[in-house]
Chain A
Amino acid sequence: MLTINNLVKHRGTQEILSGISFKARPGRVTGFLGPNGAGKSSTLRILLGLDHATSGSALINGKPFAELHNPLATVGAALDGFGAHRMRTGRAHLRWIARASGLSRSRVEEVLEIVGLTNVAGKRIGNYSLGMGRRLGMAAALLGDPKILVLDEPVNGLDPEGIRWIRTFLRERAESGNTVLLSSHLMGELEETVDDVVIINHGKIVANGSLKEVIGNHSTLEKAFFALTSENTGDVV
Chain B
Amino acid sequence: MRAFNAELSKLFSLPGIWLAFLIGAFAPAVIAALDSTAQKEKIIAGVSTRLSEVGYIGLALGVQGVIILGVLAVSSEYLTESSESGGGNQITTSLTVVPSRFHFLLAKAGAVTVISILLSIVAILTTVSATNLILGEYAPAFEASRLIGAVCYWIFTALLAFGITVLTKNGIIPLAVLMINSSVVTVSYLLTKVTKLAFYLPDKAGFDMFMFTSDSFHTPFTGGLIMFAWVAVLFIVAAIVFHRRDVTS
Contact = CB atoms under 8 A, between A and B. Distances in A.
B73 to A, nearest CB: 12
Interface in A73-114: 75, 77, 79-89, 92-93, 95-97, 99-102
A117 B13 CA distance: 19
A125 B88 CA distance: 9
B10 interface: yes
Given A11-B249, A100-B5, A101-B2, A84 B90 contact: yes
A82 B82 CA distance: 11
Interface residues of A, number: 42
Nearest to A95: B9
B100 interface: yes
Interface stretch (B41-49, B121-129, B195-203, B240-248): B240-248
Interface stretch (A49-57, A185-193, A199-207, A222-230): A49-57
Nearest to A143: B97
B64 to A, nearest CB: 20
A96 B96 CA distance: 13
Given A50-B96, A50-B246, A100 B90 contact: no
A96 B10 contact: yes
Contacts of B3: 100
A48 interface: yes
A65 interface: yes
B95 interface: yes
B84 A45 contact: no
B83 interface: yes
A49 B96 contact: yes
Nearest to B17: A87
Name, among A65, A87, A133, the residue most crowded by chain B CB atoms within 10 Å (CB to CB): A87
Contact residues of A: prevailing secondary structure: mixed
Contacts of A33: none
B170 interface: no
Given A100-B2, A100-B98, A50 B86 contact: no
A85 B2 contact: no
A116 B34 CA distance: 54
Nearest to A69: B99
B88 A85 contact: yes
Contact of B13 (A96, A101, A102, A133): A96
Contacts of A92: 9, 13
Contacts of B88: 81-82, 84-86
Name, among B79, B85, B244, the residue most crowded by chain A CB atoms within 10 Å (CB to CB): B85
Interface in B96-140: 96-100
B81 interface: yes
A81 B89 contact: yes
Contact of A65 (B6, B15, B87, B99): B99
A86 B82 CA distance: 12
Contacts of A95: 9, 13
Nearest to B246: A51
A50 B95 contact: yes
Contacts of B14: 85, 87-88
A97 B86 contact: no
A102 to B, nearest CB: 5
A81 B86 contact: yes
Contacts of B10: 88, 96
A102 B9 CA distance: 13
A101 B86 contact: no
B84 A130 contact: yes
A117 to B, nearest CB: 14
Nearest to A87: B15
Contacts of A79: 92, 96
Contacts of A45: 246-248
16 contacts: A48-B92, A49-B95, A51-B247, A51-B248, A66-B100, A67-B99, A71-B99, A81-B92, A85-B79, A85-B88, A85-B90, A92-B13, A97-B6, A100-B2, A100-B97, A130-B86
Given A51-B249, A100-B3, 14 more contacts: A45-B246, A50-B95, A50-B248, A52-B246, A81-B83, A81-B87, A82-B88, A82-B89, A84-B90, A85-B88, A86-B88, A88-B10, A101-B2, A126-B85
Across the A-B interface, give the 10 residue pairs with the lowest CB-CB distance, nearest first. Answer: A81-B87, A100-B6, A82-B86, A83-B93, A92-B13, A51-B246, A50-B247, A96-B9, A133-B86, A99-B6
Interface of B: 2-3, 5-6, 9-10, 13-16, 76, 79, 81, 83-90, 92-93, 95-100, 244, 246-249
